[in-house]
Amino acid sequence: MKPLLVFQHIGCETPGIFLDVLQAQKRPVETVRLYDGDQVPSDLSPYSGLLVMGGPMSVNDEADFPWLRTEDRLLKEALALDFPTLGICLGSQLIAKAAGGTIRQGPRKEIGWYPVHLTMAARHDRLFGGFPASIKVFEWHGEYFDMPPGAINLARSALYECQAFSIGRNIYGLLFHLEVTASMVSDWVRTFTQELEGVKDYIRPDTILEQLPARIDALNRRARILFSRFCESLR
């Protein structure tokens, strides 16, 4: 069985609950820790699929993080091949950019628990089919993307028109975080204190943590469902 290739951009933004699904299915994983200097593979042929995680940098920070250019090249290959690919937050922005979309700073950050509303297209989508019309998700982003050419919009929020999209049959981007565990949320609140200080007028870290016990189980259930469906397309 070919391994799933994972791009990780910072130590604390792991595949989270998705790893439980991969372990249960006994699927091998090869993680490229870009923040640690790991090299991006030259092509996708040795892999069954691609999972692109989040990170605090911008997709436009290529001068500071040269490996973003290498990721862009490989994501363009994935798009050309309709290669099974799932991007989370920064990962979704990287896919959108590779597909010709524009990534820009949003009017305000979404950090914490927010409802996203599924589109009509999502009702018939193989990953989102059967989900409620509105689901509560965990968000942590300041940038967003215009809908990439050829993409189908699958979800929106009050602030952002596109929160999830698909391209072709096998490529998906989620601006929100389905993958987080309770410990990851707590860790991020501790790790990104400076960012949270900058948005303290409308985002309260203690509220994020207070809502965690009531939110996390439903989020994890939906994450397992969606990611298990994604894994059905792995080559």
Report pLDDT for 18.
Answer: 98
Report pLDDT for 205.
Answer: 97
In whole angstroms, how large is the CA radius of gyration of the chain? 16
Q: Is the pLDDT of residue 175 over 90?
A: yes
Tens digits of per-residue pLDDT, 87-137? Answer: 999 999 999 999 999 999 999 999 999 999 999 999 999 999 999 999 999
Tens digits of per-residue pLDDT, 186-201? Answer: 999 999 999 999 999 9
113: which strand partners? 138
Can you give the residue ranges of every domain in the chain?
Answer: 4-231
Tens digits of per-residue pLDDT, 37-61? Answer: 999 999 999 999 999 999 999 999 9
Q: Is the pLDDT of residue 140 over 90?
A: yes
- List strand residue ranges (DSSP E) for the chain, in order: 4-8, 29-33, 49-52, 85-88, 103-118, 134-145, 152-156, 164-167, 171-174
Tens digits of per-residue pLDDT, 64-96? Answer: 999 999 999 999 999 999 999 999 999 999 999
In 3D space, the residue among 170, 158, 144, 175 whose CA is nearest the CA of residue 54 turns out to be 175
Pick the CATH number of 4-231 from 3.40.640.10, 3.40.50.880, 1.10.730.10, 3.40.47.10: 3.40.50.880
Report pLDDT for 128.
Answer: 98
Report pLDDT for 146.
Answer: 86
